[in-house]
Amino acid sequence: MKKLFRILTLSLFLSIGLGCIDGVEVELWGECYNVETTTFLNFSYQDDSDYPPLYGEIPPEIGQLVNMTDLYLGGNELTIIPPEIGNLVNLQSLYLYGNQFTSIPSEIGDLVSLRTLDISDNQQLIGEIPSEIGNLTNLEVLILHDSFFTGLIPGSIGNLINLVHLELDHNQLTGQIPSEIGNLINLNHLGLYVNQLSGQIPLEIWNLTNLNSLVLLDNQFSGQIPSEIGNLVNLEYLYLGFNYFNGSIPSEISNLSNLRELILISNNFSGEILPYLTGMNNLIFLVLGGNNFSGQVPIEIGNLIYLEEFNLWGNNFSGQIPNEIGNLVSLQRLWIDGNNFSGQIPESLGDLENIYTINISNNQFSGLIPDSICDLGLDWSQWDNEVTNSLQNNNFCPPYPNCLTEDDIGYQDTSECLECSESQGDLNSDTEVNIYDIIIMVNCILNEDCDECSDINEDGSSDIFDIINLVNLVLGQ
């Protein structure tokens, strides 16, 4: 009832006016405000607000509140920003997000005291980002995302040398990133994702050493990443996915020891990368899928104990998965499908207690699937956008763990599978386990040509522990 009374009262005031004191007060949305003393207005609308959203034009009379420092009009249905907004030269914070504005007046550039400007989520906006924004040299936060801006990023944005946070994502911006952005030496966050930007990243970007996050996802950028990427030593979030970058990642990326999220998915990158990342002990998300990366997974990958996503699908990685993968106790998603990995998968895979999705399909894995995989409790038939569990299209040999159905196992090329003797340790298949089998075991380990029949303890490798087990079998007869 109180809310209804407030709405009816506001509607009445809007229709008949209040009779504010001329020269002393100004009427805005049914209330009078003192021209000299009003410094703060908050009409931002939320679902639980006890007044209706504002609509139509921002009253031109707002320009009389020349001492105002903070103006909050977000989340309404306002359509027009009057040029008189430019009179508010003492304004430090202006929030116009979530409205229905169709244009931004050039007078916005007169608000030289502004530190925060948020005009995001205005999806009726038409036209380019006004170059006059470059006049706002005290600006620290500029948020223009989800507002359908078109055209180029104005070079005048490089005048905003105090800018710390810049969000231009989810627009329809085109052309290249202006080199003038390199002037923003205090920049902490640069978000340009989901636009139509193209060309190479200007070298000046790689000199913004205070950057914490660089988000360029889903554009049309191309070219190679230069060695200067190593300058961004404070970077924690690097998102370059869904572009047309190519070439190899320079070794200088190893300088980014504070990196927490590295997203390079769906580009044309090639060459090795994993050896450069093993010192990034804070890494949480490593997403390299959909490229042409190659090389092997180094044993030092086990140092990344905070890693939650290890995503290598659709590349040219090869070799074996090291046993140290079991050290990744925080890992939740392991997607390494569509590569050239080979050998046995390590028993330590069963140590990944937080894992909820594993896809190792479409590789050249061979040998036995370790029984420890059953300890993970995964549904191997689940296949959707969030969880894809698959072992299919490898060279795994029977017998398979009891927790897996025939459908779970899928197609496996078993043409190279060995039929080991029914007597464990009988490596020469003479129906006896004796000193000759021990000699065979020692020789195959020294020559590094053991097969799965030599893996007595079924841990995914043949080593001194298998020799000990075999000796015990011989002595225990």
H/E run at residue 466? helix 464-475
Which residue do the tokens 């703060």 mark?
Answer: 40
CA distance 255 to 468: 43
CA distance 462 to 452: 8
pLDDT recorded at residue 385? 67
pLDDT recorded at residue 18? 57
Residues 284 and 311: beta-carbon distance below 8 Å: no
Burial (CB count within 10 angstroms: exposed 0-12, middle 13-18, buried 19+), residue 1? exposed
HSE toward the beta carbon, residue 53, CA cutoff 13 A: 17
Strand order in the sheet with 316-319: 150-151, 172-175, 196-199, 220-223, 244-248, 268-271, 292-295, 316-319, 340-343, 364-368, 395-397
Closest listed residue to residue 315, CA positions, set 366, 349, 362: 362
Q: Which residues of the chain have pLDDT under 70?
A: 1-18, 385, 460
- Give the angle 83-177-185 at the CA atoms, nearest 5°: 85
The three state secondary structure string of 114-131 is CCEEECCCCCCCCCECCH
CA distance 155 to 148: 19
CA distances from 455 to 196, 434, 459 (A): 54, 16, 7
Residue 64, SS3 per DSSP? helix
CA distance 388 to 458: 26
CA distance 126 to 103: 6
CA distance 310 to 298: 13
pLDDT digits (tens, 9 = 90+) for 50-68: 778 999 999 999 999 999 9
pLDDT recorded at residue 424? 82
Name, in order, each residue with C-beta under 8 angstroms of 15's C-beta and a sequence gap of 6 or more: none
CA distance 421 to 416: 16
pLDDT digits (tens, 9 = 90+) for 246-282: 999 999 999 999 999 999 999 999 999 999 999 999 9
**DSSP for 387-416?**
-B-B--SBEEESSPPTT--HHHH--B--TT
- Give the angle 469-473-476 at the CA atoms, nearest 5°: 130
pLDDT digits (tens, 9 = 90+) for 303-359: 999 999 999 999 999 999 999 999 999 999 999 999 999 999 999 999 999 999 999
Residues 55 and 78: beta-carbon distance below 8 Å: yes
Closest listed residue to residue 286, CA positions, set 228, 226, 332, 342: 332
DSSP state of 128: B
Beta carbons within 10 angstroms of residue 440's beta carbon: 18
CA distance 226 to 232: 12
Q: State both tokens at 404.
A: 């897996």
Residues 458 and 349: beta-carbon distance below 8 Å: no
pLDDT recorded at residue 421? 72
- Give the angle 28-133-25 at the CA atoms, nearest 5°: 20
CA distance 463 to 421: 19
CA distance 208 to 216: 15
Residues 97 and 143: beta-carbon distance below 8 Å: yes
pLDDT recorded at residue 274? 97
pLDDT recorded at residue 49? 75
Q: State both tokens at 176.
A: 């290249």
pLDDT recorded at residue 440? 84
Closest listed residue to residue 336, CA positions, set 304, 366, 356, 360: 360
Beta carbons within 10 angstroms of residue 477's beta carbon: 8
Which residue do the tokens 């309404």 mark?
Answer: 76
How far the first Cα of the chain sits from its last, in Å, is 90
CA distance 439 to 346: 25
